[in-house]
Amino acid sequence: MNRIVYLMLVLGMLGLISACGGASASPETGQNLAVMKGCIACHAVDETYKIGPTWVGLYGSQVEFDDGSFVAADETYLIESIKDPNAKIVNGFSKGSMPAVSLSDEEINALVTYIKSVK
């Protein structure tokens, strides 16, 4: 196995263990989880355009939905979007493009902590 892939897997597992162990979530834990669960395949953490909305500067910003309404991207919005990706569709993106992923509350909190850190 490629050493880099192996290292990513080990770091990801450590992040998952930490997230599930009740310790407070860190951005690194959420980042490892985003890699392990495939979130970063569709959500950019840099200026790259991807299938899903970017996470760069998302937290605290105003998000426009396909119906023209807006909401502040706070923790409540992020948690809802992770749990029910089709509840609100960001303008310019398609309904059903984000798969529902089974995550524990600790894992969701870790992802939210990471998204908040992506500036």
Domain locations along the chain: 3-117
Across 13-27, 39-53, 84-98, least confident range: 13-27
pLDDT at 55 over 50: yes
Across 36-45, 57-66, 75-84, 98-107, least confident range: 98-107
Band (80; pLDDT cuts 50, 70, 90): very high
Measure the CA–CA gap between 107 and 7, rounded to whole angstroms: 20
What separation in angstroms does the CA of 43 have from each of 18, 24, 40, 64, 109? 23, 24, 5, 17, 17
Contact 31, 41 (CB under 8 A): no
Q: Give the per-residue pLDDT at 3.
A: 53
Q: Give the per-residue pLDDT at 36.
A: 96
Q: Give the per-residue pLDDT at 47.
A: 85
The pTM is what?
Answer: 0.78
**CATH, range 3-117:** 1.10.760.10
